[in-house]
Amino acid sequence: MFARAQMRKLVGCMGVFLILTAGCISASAQKKKDKKKNATTETAPLDLSAAMPPLPESQAVDKAVGEALGYWQIGDVDSLHKYYSDDVVFVSGAWEPPVIGWDNFLKAYQSQRAQIPGGRMDRSNTVIKVNGNSAWATYQFVFSAVLEGKIVVFHGHTSVVLNKQGDRWVIVLNHSSIVDSTSANSPTPADSAQPARP
């Protein structure tokens, strides 16, 4: 919850920054235009995309994986779909057949979110390899949530295979394995206020 609130604040600040930056650029362009009123040619509008160099491919892959995880966590399936191909294959750590295709994954994902309505996923130790228009990424994860009144924590590994489609990377294979899990009773406010007894 705290992370979501911080993310909203960050997004809000970035939005204000972009609006202010656009206003400054617009005001600066207007001043230049006023100075050159008598000139016969006008300067072209400033193209901000040309000023920003593209990300190296490994960073673009890392960004795609991170954004996909973010949308997965908050349940934004429309934004999440942008990072997965329509014929994606999902392999879970459970003994079950792979889930093939976005539509089938969506059903399973929504069923899972109904059982575990929140949770937090943290990734670490990400390794990325890019080869032309194909790439793979592998990372460790810790997923924690409250399930049936108990805090559950899952540790595992995920590997994804991505293809570059146009100017963006999309996941075509997602394989996750759970290494271990733990559960504990959810702490109550009264329990957390009590000092530990010897």
Q: State pLDDT tens for residues 60-98.
A: 999 999 999 999 999 999 999 999 999 999 999 888 999
87 in the same domain as 17:
no
154 in the same domain as 62:
yes
Q: Is 13 domain-assigned?
A: yes
64 in the same domain as 129:
yes
- Determine how many CB atoms are found less than 10 A away from the CB of residue 140: 15
Q: Is 47 domain-assigned?
A: no
Q: Is 49 domain-assigned?
A: no
Across 101-128, average pLDDT:
92
Q: Is 140 domain-assigned?
A: yes
78 in the same domain as 6:
no
Q: Is 122 domain-assigned?
A: yes
- Determine how many CB atoms are found less than 10 A away from the CB of residue 17: 10
Q: Is 169 domain-assigned?
A: yes
Residue 51 binned pLDDT confidence (cut-offs 50, 70, 90): low
Domain count for the chain: 2
Q: Which domain holds residue 73?
A: 57-185
Q: Looking at per-residue confidence, does 189 or 68 come out higher?
A: 68
62 in the same domain as 22:
no
165 in the same domain as 96:
yes
Specify the pLDDT at position 94.
84
Q: Is 129 domain-assigned?
A: yes
**In whole angstroms, what is the distance from residue 84 CA to residue 169 CA?**
9
The answer on pLDDT for 2 being more than 50 is no
Specify the pLDDT at position 43.
52
pTM of the model: 0.65
Q: Report the range of poorest mean pLDDT among 40-44, 65-69, 81-85, 130-134.
A: 40-44
144 in the same domain as 95:
yes
Across 47-60, average pLDDT:
76
Q: Are 64 and 85 in contact (CB under 8 A)?
A: no
Q: Are 158 and 143 in contact (CB under 8 A)?
A: no
Vertex 124, ends 139 and 180: CA angle to 5°?
A: 70
The answer on pLDDT for 188 being more than 80 is no
Across 142-155, average pLDDT:
90
Q: Is 152 domain-assigned?
A: yes
